[in-house]
Structure 1
Amino acid sequence: MVGEVPFAHLTVPNVPLYRPVMRAFLAAKERFAIHLRPDDVPAALPAQDRSVELDAVVKALDSLVECGNLRADPDTARVTAVEDFYRKRFIYQLTQAGEAAEEALSSYDKALGRRGALQAVALHDIVAQLRALLVLAADLA
């Protein structure tokens, strides 16, 4: 996936998993749960997506980190032995760009009146709005 492009996850084959994962993080944040571990994510997904394997969830989380939607931090809370420090364990949280992207998509879904795959026109509108946000962000920096 393209690095640091919050809407890049919408144009790849695994989008049916990425959208529910991002909504799970947004819902968790609304409940003041800032971080989620990979094994927390399946339980936070809609019922039809809960059977997804943990490996698929971890790959989705890593891809969303590449896009800039999530941030991965080392998870040292469950370390009980020296060997545990060498294991790759992360906790994930929404980035500001990821949260903004998901809120924009949720608003767009609401405006369309239905959930589901985005239409080509919608993607064009999102890209135009994203470019405008990038210009504004560059002005603020």
Structure 2
Amino acid sequence: MAFPPQEHQPFAHLSVPNATFYREILRSFVRAKERFIVHLGPEDVAAELRRDNDDALDKLREWGNLRADADTGRVTSVEDFHRKRYLFQLTHAGQAAEQAIAFYEDAIGKRGALQSVAWGDIAEQLQSLAAPGS
């Protein structure tokens, strides 16, 4: 099943309920990529975080942080073929957002939640980068 193209909103997860959980998921993808593991299935993320995450992975895909590819590697029956199975990986936008957040957290010397005023600064800088002629 192909997903329709969406406008990237890689920072959307920061201002919604369960923002901390979305950050944990994305950090698990960053850690995996550091180990040269590009694709993670929902069960891989669930095993690391010890929590179900299917809906969260779908939301992160909608926002442009993750890409979903059909997982046909573990199909052993017709039922498996018809069951929704995806492998997820960080998109360029998702990776850039994670790098920007990590850089900002390091720059202000705090780990964890950023102040709401900081998100305005980040959004302003990103908009200036996206503006024509930048």
Same-fold status (TM-score > 0.5): yes
1:126 matched residue in structure 2: 122
1:133 Cα deviation (Å)? 2.9
* 1:76 alignment partner, one of 72, 77, 81: 72
Trace 1:101-140 onto structure 2 (pairs within 5 A): 101-135=97-131
1:51 matched residue in structure 2: 50
Relative to 1, partners in 2 of residues 1:139 and 1:34: Cα closer, same or farther, differing over 3 Å? Answer: farther
* 2:29 alignment partner, one of 21, 25, 28: 25
Give 1:18's aligned amino acid. Answer: Y
Residues 15-48 of structure 1: CA deviation (Å, up to 9, x unaligned): 010001111101111111000000101333xxxx
1:99 matched residue in structure 2: 95
SS of the residue corresponding to residue 32 of structure 1 reads coil
Relative to 1, partners in 2 of residues 1:92 and 1:120: Cα closer, same or farther, differing over 3 Å? Answer: same
- Runs ≥4 in structure 1, deviation > 4 angstroms? none
Mapped to 2, the partners of 1:111 and 1:5 lie a distance apart of: 23
Q: Unpaired segments of 5 or more residues in structure 1?
A: 45-49
Count residues in correspondence: 129
1:61 matched residue in structure 2: 57
TM-score by structure 2 length? 0.89
* 1:16 alignment partner, one of 20, 23, 26: 20
1:139 Cα deviation (Å)? 5.8
Give 1:51's aligned amino acid. Answer: R
Relative to 1, partners in 2 of residues 1:139 and 1:65: Cα closer, same or farther, differing over 3 Å? Answer: farther
Relative to 1, partners in 2 of residues 1:139 and 1:28: Cα closer, same or farther, differing over 3 Å? Answer: farther
State the identity as a percent: 54
Mapped to 2, the partners of 1:51 and 1:87 lie a distance apart of: 23
Larger helix proportion, structure 1 or 2? 1
Mapped to 2, the partners of 1:126 and 1:92 lie a distance apart of: 26
